[in-house]
Amino acid sequence: MALPFRLITAFVLVLFLAFESPLQAEEEVAKPFLTLSGYISDASTGEMLIGGTLYITELSGGTATNVYGYYSVRLDPGSYSLTYSYIGYNSKQLQLDLRNDTLINIKLSPQEMELNEVVITGESALENVRRPQMSVARLDIKNIRQIPAFMGEVDVIKALQLLPGVQATSEGGSGFSVRGGSPDQNLILLDEALVYNPSHLLGFFSVFNNDAVKSVELYKGDIPSEYGGRLSSVVDVRMNDGNSQRITGQGGVGTISSRLTLEGPIQKDKSSFMLAGRRTYADLFLALSPNEDVRNNTLYFYDFNGKANYTFNDKNRLFVSGYFGKDVFKNESFALGWGNQTLTVRWNHLFSPKIFSNFSLIYSRFNYELGIPEGEPNAFDWNSRMQDYALKSDFTWFASASSTLKFGLHTTFHSFSPGTAVGLGEETAFNKLEVPESFALESGIYFNNEHQLSNRLTLKYGLRLSMFNNIGKGTVYQYDEQYEKVDSVVYPSGEIYQTFANLEPRFSLAWKLDEFSSVKAAYTRNAQYVHLAQNSTAGTPLDIWFPTGPNVKPQLGDQFSAGYFRYFPKEKLETSVEGFYKLNHNAIDFKDHAELLLNEYLDGELRFGKAWSYGLEFLVRLNEGRLNGWVSYTWSRTFREIPEINKGKPYPASYDRPHDVSIVANYKLSKRIDLGANWVYSTGSAVTFPTGRFTIGNTIAPVYSDRNAYRLPDYHRLDISITLRAKEKPGRKWTGEWNLSVYNAYYRKNPWVINFIADPEQPNVTNAEMTYLFGIVPAITYNFKF
Amino acid sequence: MKNLTKAVFGIFLVLGLFSACTETIDIELDQSFTRLVVDGQISTDTMAHLVRLSQSANYFSNTEPAAVSGASVVVDDGSQAITLLEYPERSGMYYTPANYYGIPGNDYLLSVSLPEAIGESINYEATNTMPQTAFQLDSIQLEFRNPPGFWMVKLFAMDPPTTDFYRLDVLRNGLILTDTAYRTAILDDRLINGNNTNGITVMFLYEDEVMPGDTISLIMSAISKDYYEFLLELRNESGFSNPLFGGPPANISSNLREGGLGYFATRKTSSVSLVADSSLWQR
């Protein structure tokens, strides 16, 4: 226990040091500073705009709104010309003679779809050049909708997979690896609640219903200190608040699913709600199948998003939001179901225009259940669950014109129930098998200061102290050197039996070369205390999360990154080059032939070592105008070295794919027609192939190469789409559009897996058989708004 | 796990929309070095027990494995050591005398001396302890189920309270049906420890594998944990895999020392039979 306390003391000291300078600064020049603050929102819906910018000509600088649409900036008294802007919206300019603290709430109107309109700013691009935050990408849901979607289902996660440094872990799946990290190292948040398994239908679709989503932010490095618990990335998904002006709806009827969203004011300008639902009907097609086996199956998923908010006054806002989703697959002899549930209650409070705070109460849960229905001697039921309760308080202090401080405290109570299997029926032959539950408390205290030292140099430095306590009731098994269980200890309820603490420094800087370009560098350390026992490359719903504990050390990650950022104002091109090096200590892998499901002795299947990756990412992005989209190229490598695996030699991770290209383009052909296309290319994933074989009885068995010594053929694919909008008629509220999309347009057979198997006809002959999942997949969707 | 994999393929089937397709492709693989392969078993049955010696080959060699002839093969059960004989017409096959049987609880040591080195060694050894598991095999039943159009073999047996592992084989009129790792059933008693199995389905047979009047026999063998794991790995690594389930490919374990492949196993066996009565077809 001594170490954590020392760490806390050190942390508090650093915190005070950080506070000290702006405090003193404030005293010296106490009076002259005034605060300009407010919210930036969408004029038509009242939706708060995340990352809306305020540019102050006199300062050649400005600020951006936070995730609640709030901005605050400290200024000398005087007159200023202000420009408020947001991509895809008409900017607003105004003159301000600042004499007192001033509140300006700004409503921006979305740009009409005029073709030859000259679009005004690259403000957010410039903001990105100025600020030290690097390795971040924000995707607005409008942009995501323009990307051709698999089966017409617009998908947030699939859009992220097109960004540099992000790789899909398998064809069509929603698992992804960021800068060589494992899929379980991504912190996926929906309105701050952790989503443990972001996939539907074995990963082919993600849990995020695009109608309910406002924006998505991805941090692939330089993770701000307000986030903790995962090594590789943060995916911060924010739901729509709900239209505060009038009741509206939107929805779509697609090839495999339909969705409907309703939103509107409860009390105008005071409170609003949003309700969104979606259900697939793939199983309706099953009835058409000539195969009885297929007809007898049920397969679908559905999900709901709901949100309501209430504005008490300018200082207090309350948000309640939730997600409920479920997947069902069953037939006469087998059933499998899984789902995520989240609930978030948040209270925004302004202590003063300078101090913005948010308090959140969060519940999140992932569970699955499978079994053979009662009536069979083999009937059984098996379920598994992961559940969190979290409390968070976050503060932003707009301390001075040059300094913004964030600090806060998070704590989460985890409850792990890895699996319980019981036989069903009186005659069952099966015993109850239960992997013991366990509990843990994960906490973090942080501060972060974004400090503009000069016109050229801005620093962002922060520190997070994270702590993890294993709490009884818990059973811990002890293992010998061969990883065989030798003993067990049972800890009573409430006893803290193991504590871990880590200091996680986060540092970055931006050096402005000129108005349009900058260089940035960052170092961050992250700790991860909860890990996923998942051995497959494609995500399955059968996830088991397990805590750090007496047998499992926390994973630690160090990342160094540096980049060059440049905006070309004439061409409206955002460009960047980033390089990174990442080192992951206590990386977890699994022994050969590991048994992860329903295994009480899971810890004995784990092997520890290190993982590292490095790479270069190039991005050219065009956000505005008739033609928009991006081109990205990533060169990267990622390796692991674990003493008991691959004879201790380093091996490439399966998602080591050195070359990766994405091209995303949208073209507004006319007022009513949009065209979209994306093309992806990447080196085939690293795989293990047999080099030799031997025969046991009539079975031919393989002798393998080194781990991941071979590669699948290169992956590439083109998707295209066309969107046709109905003619606008004045006075009519209903607007509709047809979207036709084609996935894998030139019929590339991308291998999903290559199996080496005996030829069924000829003895002693073995073949390599490739399985590919998709031919050309066309889809049609009708979307509407009213 | 097998059920699960089936279910997953079911999901793809169900989606139908996904045109999951399979085709044979050409792949260049590196050469592999040759190793000794042992495939041998001693059971409690009184019979000529077989130990087969062969060599591993390149993956796409596509020929019968090369037999290892002229070796000295000795099985020692602690009290006596017998030399197995290779019949001239069956190269690489070494047999015990026909009156030989294994005794539960004994440690069996296999010693192989090769006429010339394979890999880096001339001498190879393997040991296996014959399990003493006190299981009771009572009977089996057959039931045809459509869908999925298979015969289900239902097992009635008593598992003792110890930690046990089993291998199950089915014969039709004395000929083995479960002749590959994929069809041989293996069972651990984690879920059924100390219980009567009450007719759980342990195996599936194809529709045309059972005809009226056929004698269907089931051999239940208690095996060691190691051999169970070998069979499980053999099955997983020789069949289809998919990226959703199962981990990365990994080499199959062996109890051969000095870098040999394969397994020298012992089994405590018991068997039951039934005659497929025409009433089974009245459904």
Q: To the nearest whole angstrom, how far is the Cα of A499 from the nearest Cα of chain B? A: 31
**Spatial separation of the C-alpha atoms in residues B217 and A72, rounded to whole Å:** 82
Q: Do B249 and A704 touch (CB under 8 A)?
A: yes
Q: Encode pLDDT of A328-342 as tens digits.
A: 888 777 888 999 999
Structural domain ending residue among the three candidates A77, A95, A121: A121
Of the listed ranges A16-25, A486-495, A534-543, A545-554, the one predicted with least confidence: A16-25
Kindly state whether A594 is in contact with chain B, defined as any CB-CB distance less than 8 angstroms. yes
Can you read off the two tokens belonging to residue B119? 């890999």
Same domain (yes/no): A673, A726: yes
Q: Do B23 and A536 touch (CB under 8 A)?
A: no
Q: Indicate whether A764 belongs to any domain.
A: yes
Pairing of strands A606-622, A627-641: antiparallel
Phi, psi of B225 (to 5 degrees): -60, -40
- pLDDT of A296 reads 72
In this structure, the number of other CB atoms found within 10 A of the CB of residue A9 comes to 10
Same domain (yes/no): A570, A436: yes
Q: Encode pLDDT of A252-294 as tens digits.
A: 998 888 999 999 999 888 899 999 999 988 777 666 666 666 6
Kindly state whether B35 is in contact with chain A, defined as any CB-CB distance less than 8 angstroms. yes
Q: Looking at residues A567-593, what average pLDDT do you find?
A: 93
Confidence label for A538 from pLDDT (cuts 50, 70 and 90) = low
Among B32, B158, B229, pick the best mutation site for testing chain A contact (most A Cβ within 10 A).
B32
- pLDDT of A26 reads 44
Same domain (yes/no): A68, A143: no
Confidence label for A581 from pLDDT (cuts 50, 70 and 90) = very high
Q: To the nearest whole angstrom, how far is the Cα of A299 from the nearest Cα of chain B? A: 8
Q: Which domain holds residue A283?
A: 136-242+252-294+312-785
List CB contacts (< 8 A) between A742 and chain B. Answer: none
Give the 3-state secondary structure of residue B235.
Answer: helix
- pLDDT of B5 reads 47
From the list A297, A429, A538, the residue facing B195 with the nearest CB is: A429
List CB contacts (< 8 A) between A689 and chain B. Answer: 27, 29, 59, 249
Q: Indicate whether A9 belongs to any domain.
A: no
Pairing of strands A233-239, A186-190: parallel
- pLDDT of A513 reads 94
Give the start-to-end residue ranges of the domains of chain B.
Answer: 36-129, 136-255+265-281
Pairing of strands A735-743, A530-533: unpaired
Same domain (yes/no): A203, A97: no
- pLDDT of A118 reads 42
List CB contacts (< 8 A) between A291 and chain B. Answer: 13
Q: Indicate whether A766 belongs to any domain.
A: yes
Q: Encode pLDDT of A191-226 as tens digits.
A: 999 999 998 887 888 999 999 999 899 999 999 999
Q: Encode pLDDT of A443-461 as tens digits.
A: 999 999 999 898 899 999 9
Confidence label for A521 from pLDDT (cuts 50, 70 and 90) = very high
Number of domains making up chain A: 2
**Spatial separation of the C-alpha atoms in residues A507 and A735, rounded to whole Å:** 48
Q: Do B39 and A540 touch (CB under 8 A)?
A: no
Q: Encode pLDDT of A356-412 as tens digits.
A: 999 999 999 999 998 888 877 778 888 999 999 999 999 999 988 788 999 999 999
**Spatial separation of the C-alpha atoms in residues B232 and B184, rounded to whole Å:** 10
At residue A462's C-alpha, the angle toward residues A457 and A467, to 5°, is: 165
Kindly state whether B127 is in contact with chain A, defined as any CB-CB distance less than 8 angstroms. no
Mean pLDDT, chain B cut into blocks of 10 residues (283 residues total): 46 50 89 93 96 95 93 94 92 95 96 92 95 95 84 94 96 93 91 90 91 95 96 90 79 93 96 92 76
**Spatial separation of the C-alpha atoms in residues A150 and A161, rounded to whole Å:** 13
- Is B136-255+265-281 in the same CATH topology as B36-129? yes
- pLDDT of B16 reads 44
Provide the CATH number for the domain around residue A57.
Answer: 2.60.40.1120
Distances, alpha carbon A538 to alpha carbons A162, A337, A688, B242, in Å: 18, 18, 16, 9
Q: To the nearest whole angstrom, how far is the Cα of A552 from the nearest Cα of chain B? A: 20
Provide the CATH number for the domain around residue A397.
Answer: 2.40.170.20
Query: May I ask the CATH class of domain B136-255+265-281?
Result: mainly beta
Higher pLDDT, A242 or A292: A242
Q: To the nearest whole angstrom, how far is the Cα of A148 from the nearest Cα of chain B? A: 17
pLDDT surpassing 60 at residue A18: no
- pLDDT of A293 reads 64
- pLDDT of A21 reads 45
Q: Do A701 and B237 touch (CB under 8 A)?
A: yes
Same domain (yes/no): A267, A391: yes
Q: Options 2.60.40, 1.10.1740, 1.10.3470, 2.40.128; which CATH number does B36-129 get?
A: 2.60.40
Q: Indicate whether A675 belongs to any domain.
A: yes
- pLDDT of A32 reads 67
Same domain (yes/no): A73, A150: no
Can you read off the two tokens belonging to residue B157? 């047996």
Q: What is the 3-state secondary structure (H, E, C) of A94-155?
A: EEEEECCCEECCEEECECCCCCCCCCCCCHHHHHHHHCCCCCEEEEEHHHHHCCCCHHHCCC
Q: Looking at residues A570-598, what average pLDDT do you find?
A: 92
- pLDDT of A427 reads 75
Same domain (yes/no): A319, A418: yes
pLDDT surpassing 60 at residue A2: no
Q: Encode pLDDT of A719-762 as tens digits.
A: 999 999 988 778 788 889 999 999 999 999 999 889 998 888 88
- pLDDT of A292 reads 65
Structural domain ending residue among the three candidates A88, A121, A154: A121
What percent of chain A lies above the pLDDT cut of 70?
92
pLDDT surpassing 90 at residue A31: no
Same domain (yes/no): A194, A112: no
Q: Encode pLDDT of B208-243 as tens digits.
A: 999 999 999 999 999 999 999 999 999 989 887 777
pLDDT surpassing 60 at residue A19: no
> Average pLDDT, whole number, for chain A?
89
Same domain (yes/no): A143, A109: no
Q: Indicate whether A19 belongs to any domain.
A: no
Kindly state whether A536 is in contact with chain B, defined as any CB-CB distance less than 8 angstroms. yes
**If residue A265 lies in a helix (H) or strand (E), which one and from where to where?**
strand A257-267
**If residue A205 lies in a helix (H) or strand (E), which one and from where to where?**
strand A205-206
Same domain (yes/no): A63, A154: no
From the list B58, B241, B248, the residue facing A755 with the nearest CB is: B241
Burial class (CB in 10 A: 0-12, 13-18, 19+), A626: middle
- pLDDT of A763 reads 86
Structural domain ending residue among the three candidates A62, A92, A121: A121
Q: Encode pLDDT of A107-163 as tens digits.
A: 998 876 544 444 445 667 778 888 889 998 888 888 888 899 888 888 999 999 999
Q: Do B60 and A766 touch (CB under 8 A)?
A: yes
- pLDDT of A22 reads 45
Same domain (yes/no): A57, A179: no
